[in-house]
Amino acid sequence: MITLTGKSVFGGVSIGKLSFYKRNQKVIKRTHVDDVEAECSRFQDAKAEAVGQLKELYDKAIEDVGEANAMIFEIHQMMLEDLDYIESIENIIRTQEVNAEFAVATTADNFAQMFASMDDAYMQGRAADVKDVSERVLDILCGVGEGVKQTDELSIIAADDLAPSETVQLDKSKVLGFATMYGSSNSHTAILARTMNIPAVIGLGEALSQDYDGKMAVIDGFTGTLYIDPDEETLTVMKEKRAKDLEQKALLEQLKGKENVTKSGQKINVYANIGNVSDVGAVLKNDAGGIGLFRSEFLYLENDTFPTEEQQFAVYKQVAENMAGKKVIIRTLDIGADKQVDYFGLDKEDNPALGYRAIRICLTRTEIFKTQLRALYRAAMFGNISIMFPMIISVGEIHKIKAIIAEVKAELKAEGIPYREDVELGVMIETPASVMISRELAKEVDYFSVGTNDLTQYTLAIDRQNSKLDEFYDPHHPAVLAMIKMAADNAHAEGKWIGICGELGADLELTEEFLKMGLDELSVSPSMVLPLRKRIRECE
């Protein structure tokens, strides 16, 4: 048995095989070819090899998960043999005289977009399948093996660390837990683990070797320990620990439908933070009162190019409809710093956390901002949508935002496109500057939401992504709490409400302190809604 110790970012116990996250190293470039027929043959050979791989996967899946669950691999084989798909690829090769890789990638994008735009839910689901089978062909053409990023069975995902763009692509239904070499408790891996309510250990160092790929492992998220090839005694202890944890979670389920009210009668809203449409189910399952933070930048991280107005409108509309009148606060894109997107063409910065990011991009690249605002105002017709702006440091920024909103409304009206006029507007309080001028800001907007992750970082002058500084990073620091109280007092002085949407909102040690400050709302990962409700109901 090998025992590795790191830092826990979410409690619980997971038992399963260790699966290292594998990154594809292929780059698809468009190149001219002279012999188009030879290139078509290259494609046909790669397709035949891909079909062979899928047949092997089908046979293995029948043994592991039964015939019904193995059917997906038969569907993938059929997609590779689809005449429309094949003809599209070969037509691109012949007419444009380009390489097979480019033709496959282009066809995959075109077909996926076509499926995704269909009304039928089954056909929409085929968009991901056509991308999957095309990736398999591209891996063969590029000579990078199968390039599997994640196994097809339940597993503990191991990696050096995971970027935001990688966490959003994981098949979350197959993830038992996370174990990473690096990262901090504020990394996106950690946030995802808390959102998914699964155990995670970070900072295991280079002792977490790829040699352990496929071995049985146990994550003890309570102690921050990873056991590889656990002995029988350890396995027994961990199974008992897991059973007790699941029993406790079952007790919390009994709190569903209960009010978020203290023993003395003080009420507070408990909302949930999400990253995409697929998280809405977890919000409803955990009985959150609304969505306090929809991180819209994940739409941009998932895309290969700027998401269109229609793409964004469809997502925001679906979330609003699914929440059936409950509040949905959508934060405008917060790209930059640790969330980099290639097609934005952002320059490399020495200090990106203090750089060109969030509202600063929106106010200087207004065509991107206006596209998102148009989608938001249109989607607000279908539910209770509020808009929130990140990284605000001045009243002047709010005036510029309102001027752009006025332009967007005028354009929509002129085009005869329905939109909601009275959308609630709020700002993130996540810089010391926004705290110090919070009284003036409160006169301009409808509400505040405190982003404690960045507020702590900027108040303490500590890079929250730097694991070496974890011992100095103290979100309970008196200065941070004083900043939150000051913002709350100023919001209430102007008759506006204030909440917290940062990770600190889920810190049960501070719940009573936040209630004393008079905070009106706490927005946390869906998995923390019920534990937070329990803590609120215990407070005097």
The contacts of residue 412 (CB under 8 Å, 6+ apart) are 374, 377, 378, 418, 419
Cβ–Cβ < 8 Å for 183, 467 = yes
The contacts of residue 262 (CB under 8 Å, 6+ apart) are 515, 536, 537, 539, 540
Q: What angle do CA 481, 483, 486 make, to 5 degrees?
A: 110
Distance CA 492, CA 447 (A): 10
Pair of tokens at residue 98: 């380009």
Cβ–Cβ < 8 Å for 386, 423 = yes
Q: What is the DSSP letter of 313?
A: H
The contacts of residue 310 (CB under 8 Å, 6+ apart) are 375
Cβ–Cβ < 8 Å for 429, 453 = no
Cβ–Cβ < 8 Å for 419, 381 = yes
Number of Cβ within a 10 Å radius of residue 202: 24
User: Considering 40, 76, 362, 501, which one is annotated as catalytic?
Assistant: 501
Chain center to CA of 461: 26
Q: What is the DSSP letter of 149?
A: S
Number of Cβ within a 10 Å radius of residue 396: 10
User: Considering 188, 399, 492, 539, which one is annotated as catalytic?
Assistant: 188
Tell me the one-letter amino acid at 332. T
Active site residue 501: yes
Element (H, E) at 179: strand 175-180
The contacts of residue 460 (CB under 8 Å, 6+ apart) are 472, 473, 474, 477, 479, 480
Pair of tokens at residue 97: 């005289």
Comparing CA positions, the residue from 9, 40, 528, 41 lying closest to residue 285 is 528
| Distances from the Cα of 201 to the Cα of 16, 156, 159, angstroms | 14, 11, 11
Pair of tokens at residue 456: 């702590």
Active site residue 399: no
Chain center to CA of 70: 28
Element (H, E) at 60: helix 36-65
Active site residues: 188, 501
